[in-house]
Structure 1
Amino acid sequence: MEKLLEVKDLCVSFGTHGGEVQAVRGISFDLYKGETLAIVGESGSGKSVASQTIMKLIPMPPGKITNGEILFDGDDLVKKTDKQMEKVRGKDISMIFQDPMTSLNPTMKIGPQIMEVLKKHQKLSGSVAKERTIELLRLVGIPMPEKRINQYAHEFSGGMRQRAMIAIALAANPRLLIADEPTTALDVTIQSQILELIKDLQQKIGMSVIFITHDLGVVANVADRVAVMYAGQIVEVGTVDEIFYDPRHPYTWGLLASMPSLDMTDKAELLDIPGTPPDLTNPPKGDAFAPRNRYALAIDFEEEPPMFQVSETHYAKTWLLHPDAPKVELPEQVKRRVRKLAASFDKPVLAEGEA
């Protein structure tokens, strides 16, 4: 497969009154053409900062890229000026944000907001831009698009607003779509529809997708590969099957064990990860997850682990994969949760006769 995006040793920090927050600490990953990569982790893990840095949307200052490369089709975006990035944003790379109400312009009708992108990047105007706008609204599943183009964001439901945001993001036929927690503010039913919509549109258009979320469950049927982030670093990356059925990092175990499923009968089955993420104004020595890791080794508190290769597509940043480390099996709680989650993926939200 051909690479579309290569992020190499990316470091991003923010200057604050309390010190310099090292939000992203040396992450590297690739994205292939037509692929969906999910980046998951707790709030504050650095996943949104990483995704927004790709489009150079972080405010600079206080933010700054202190190291690394972001190669998009071989072109380093880090070296581009804001003026040069204007030709990339929306046209080659688009983004869907978490809350469409803060992203859509409340003073403009939905139609003109989409046509604005078509005029800037596709050089369309007049009736052609209007027809294309109607096509896009129909493509993302908004009923009566001829009527909706003349409505404002407050006249749309939450799900429809998010669909309108997707229409804006797709207007210029981007090669990369970044979806930053696009379903967090939606109810479960609409969440499922939006996930299926993104998956369906990706297959139709052939674009690559980076999906940002704190919930492993929502990416199970969407992503091809998953990167797990903790304390500004990628601690595990692999295919969906490798991350769900053969996780190797204790943090990934914790995320899996804390995920609810539809058929949970015992609240005790749902586990949490003890402690809190570290203060990134002063990152800890060694493995940042060590204080919360019940399987931590002495070396975890002294030396940062490298990325160990598990397979051609699977890597994990934990000393437990060192040849001399004691053997630690996947915790039984995690095995039970994965089995239940796998079973729940194939079940409808409402059983037959309940609707």
Structure 2
Amino acid sequence: MTKVLDVKDLHVSFNTFNGEVQAVRGVTFDVTKGETVAIVGESGCGKSVTSQTIMRLIPNPPGFIKEGQIVFEGQDLAQYSEKQMEKVRGNDIAMIFQDPMTSLNPTMTVGRQITEGLIQHQNMSKQEAHEKAIEMLRLVGIPSPESRIKQYPHQFSGGMRQRAMIAIALACQPKLLIADEPTTALDVTIQAQIIDLMKDLQNKIDTSIILITHDLGVVADIADRVVVMYAGKVIETGKLDEIFYQPKHPYTWGLLASMPRLDQDDNTELLPIPGSPPNLLNPPPGCPFAARCPHAMKVCTEQMPETTEVSTTHQVACWLDHPLAPDVKPPAGAVRGE
């Protein structure tokens, strides 16, 4: 499969009054053509910083790329100037932001916000862009697009604003779409509609998707592969079935065990992950999850485990995967199908 994006050993930090916050620490993953890769983890684990760095939207200062590569179609975006990135953003790579009400411009009509990118990147006339914008609104399921195109974001419902954001992102038919929590704050039925819409549009234009989320239910519905992040690091990655049915890292077990399941009894308690993520001003020398892990060993607190291959598509960074480690089984509820 052709790689559309290849992120290699990416480090992103922020300079603060208290010191350097190491938000992303050696993240490596790739996305192939037509594939959906989900990046999951708790709030503050580095998911959104990673996605915004790919788009080069991290403000500098205080943020900066410390090292690493963001290879998109053979070109390292980490070395691109702002002028070069302006040609990429919205055209080759587009992003659906977490909160459409704060991402859409309240002073501009929805139609104008769609036509902007078409005129700039596709060299369309205003009339051509206007017709294309109507087509995009119709494509994402907004009724009466001819009249809706003249309205402002506050005149749209939450679900319609998210659809408008998708229309803006997909107007130029990007090769890579980054969706940062696209279903947050939407009710369950609208969430399902948005996910179905993204899958349908992906099939139509063959775009690749990076989905940033903490909702494993959404991941199960749309993802081909899953990247599990914790404290700025990738700790496990694999195909959807491998992560859900054969998880190897205790943090992945915790995420899965804390997710409600339809096949469980109503009185079954969810198992939360105790403790809090480490302070990335001074990250621990060993595994960042060691302080919260019920299976932590001495080596876990002293040295970060290397990434090992469970299979050609499944990798994990955990000392429990070492041949000399004790045989530890996932807790009840951490493996789907049990």
TM over 0.5: yes
Tell whether the 8 Å contact from 1:231 to 1:280 is kept in structure 2 after alignment.
Answer: yes
Deviation per CA, 1:5-52, whole angstroms, max 9, x where unpaired? Answer: 110000000011121100000011111011000000000000100000
Structure 2 CA distance for aligned equivalents of residues 73 and 314 of structure 1:
24
Partner of 1:129: 129
Runs of 4+ residues deviating >6 angstroms: none
- The residue correspondences of 1:137-286 to structure 2 (distance < 5 A) are 137-262=137-262, 264-286=264-286
Structure 1 CA distance for aligned equivalents of residues 59 and 238 of structure 2:
31
Deviation per CA, 1:78-130, whole angstroms, max 9, x where unpaired? Answer: 00011110000000000000100111111111111111111001111132211
Deviation per CA, 1:322-348, whole angstroms, max 9, x where unpaired? Answer: 11111112222324xx238xxxxxxxx
Instruction: Compare 324-333 and 15-24 and name the one that shifted more.
Output: 324-333
Structure 1 CA distance for aligned equivalents of residues 267 and 47 of structure 2:
29
Partner of 1:345: none
Structure 1 CA distance for aligned equivalents of residues 263 and 323 of structure 2:
38
- The residue correspondences of 1:273-312 to structure 2 (distance < 5 A) are 273-312=273-312
What are the ranges of 5 or more consecutive residues in structure 2 without an aligned counterpart? Answer: none
Identity %: 65
Structure 2 CA distance for aligned equivalents of residues 132 and 180 of structure 1:
25
TM-aligned CA deviation for residue 262 of structure 1: 4.4
Structure 2 CA distance for aligned equivalents of residues 88 and 151 of structure 1:
28
Partner of 1:346: none
Count of equivalent residues: 338
Structure 2 CA distance for aligned equivalents of residues 262 and 17 of structure 1:
47
Q: Is the partner of 1:5 in helix, strand or coil?
A: strand
Structure 2 CA distance for aligned equivalents of residues 60 and 36 of structure 1:
29
- The residue correspondences of 1:337-352 to structure 2 (distance < 5 A) are 338-339=336-337
Tell whether the 8 Å contact from 2:257 to 2:331 is kept in structure 1 after alignment.
Answer: no
TM-aligned CA deviation for residue 264 of structure 1: 4.7
Q: Is the partner of 1:221 in helix, strand or coil?
A: helix
Instruction: Report the RMSD for the aligned CA atoms in angstroms.
Output: 1.1
TM-score (norm: length of structure 2): 0.98
Structure 1 CA distance for aligned equivalents of residues 107 and 36 of structure 2:
34
TM-aligned CA deviation for residue 263 of structure 1: 5.5
Tell whether the 8 Å contact from 2:45 to 2:231 is kept in structure 1 after alignment.
Answer: yes
Partner of 1:351: none
Q: Note if 1:3 corresponds to 2:25.
A: no
TM-score (norm: length of structure 1): 0.93
Tell whether the 8 Å contact from 2:162 to 2:182 is kept in structure 1 after alignment.
Answer: yes
Partner of 2:12: 12
Q: Is the partner of 1:52 in helix, strand or coil?
A: helix
What are the ranges of 5 or more consecutive residues in structure 1 without an aligned counterpart? Answer: 341-355
Structure 2 CA distance for aligned equivalents of residues 145 and 184 of structure 1:
24
Deviation per CA, 1:291-348, whole angstroms, max 9, x where unpaired? Answer: 100011111011100111000100011000011111112222324xx238xxxxxxxx
Q: Is the partner of 1:339 in helix, strand or coil?
A: coil
Q: Is the partner of 2:111 in helix, strand or coil?
A: helix
